[in-house]
Amino acid sequence: MGVIDVLMDLKKPGSSIKDIFSSRLEILLDEFQLQKKDLAKEIGVSAVAITKYTKGLTLPSFEVLVSIANYFNVSVDYLIGLVNEPVSEHDYVYFAPIGKINYSFKISDSETLEGQLDYIFGLTVWNMEIPKDETALNQFLCFKFSNNADNQRLYDCLFLTDELNVAYFLYKMSSWLGLPFMDKYQGIRSKKSQYLANLLVWNELGIKPPVGQMPLTEPQYLATLPIPTANEHIRLNYTFTSGAMPHLQVWMAMSNQERRNLLMRRLRRIKKDYI
């Protein structure tokens, strides 16, 4: 079960706001692996107050409620049970940065490609030894094509035979993930611009050469993916490994909690510092 599924704690009929809030706060503390005293320090209240909240003995003030929502990157409406969705759709990948997307693309009257495509969303951490200051890190989104036949057929249709338009594929991926990475850059102060990400393609069988060209002796597995114009055909550069490989490897070597901490800090900053 994913973190979003866990957070969507459907309230029982007749539950009070106090009961709903205490239940959801407990779930958030558990999912974030955070002790009550640590949350208390983050939002400026006593550990005793947090204990009272989780036991359903009292409700926080509105100011504290907002601070709790901001810390966990969920809405106040979620905390008090007005909605069951904890986050907006374009924040989903920050809570579930590694997962699978169900896809379905009609290639012709006789062929529809259906399956699951792995994705990896993250930040460009180059070295585990340096301070992980998320303000200096770029966002990336990698689509991973496994070695199964469905994924390889999809890859070929996109990057070798042009049977599936890459811009349309990316539009659907953005819609299914909720991350608006197809939006145009709107300036350094724009909140929308903070959701943009560098796109990557990872093929377990190696980045394939264009039709008619010889493969390399040593296969390369990762390539950058430019966002194309509406009808532009994309050919991935298979002659070198993308410079993104080191930070992708470091990101995958981190623990779930380390990735969560970085992404939550990034999301808090987006919501706080941009308009």
Selection from 147-151, 245-249, 251-255, 269-273 with the highest mean pLDDT: 147-151
Residue 22's domain comprises: 3-87
Are residues 172 and 103 in contact, defined by beta-carbon separation less than 8 angstroms?
A: yes
User: Are residue 170 and residue 143 in the same domain, yes or no?
Assistant: yes
How far is C-alpha 151 from the chain's CA centre?
21
Which of 57, 87, 117 represents a domain boundary (last residue)? 87
Which of 52, 87, 122 represents a domain boundary (last residue)? 87
Cα 211 to Cα 161: distance, rounded to the nearest angstrom: 8
User: Are residue 70 and residue 202 in the same domain, yes or no?
Assistant: no
62 residue type, one letter: F
Given a cut of 60, whether residue 1 has pLDDT beyond it is no
Which of 61, 87, 113 represents a domain boundary (last residue)? 87
**Nearest-10 crossing angle of helices 149-159, 166-177:** 130
User: Are residue 105 and residue 180 in the same domain, yes or no?
Assistant: yes
Instruction: With 0.75 as the threshold, say if the pTM is over it.
Output: yes
For 80-111, the pLDDT digits (tens) are 999 999 999 999 999 999 999 999 999 999 99
Cα 49 to Cα 59: distance, rounded to the nearest angstrom: 9
User: Are residue 50 and residue 37 in the same domain, yes or no?
Assistant: yes
Q: Which letter, b or e, does each residue of 221-237 get, where b requires 16 or more Cβ atoms within 10 Å of its Cβ?
A: bbbebebeeeeeebebe
Domain count, the chain: 2
User: Are residue 131 and residue 7 in the same domain, yes or no?
Assistant: no
User: Are residue 133 and residue 256 in the same domain, yes or no?
Assistant: yes
User: Are residue 209 and residue 153 in the same domain, yes or no?
Assistant: yes
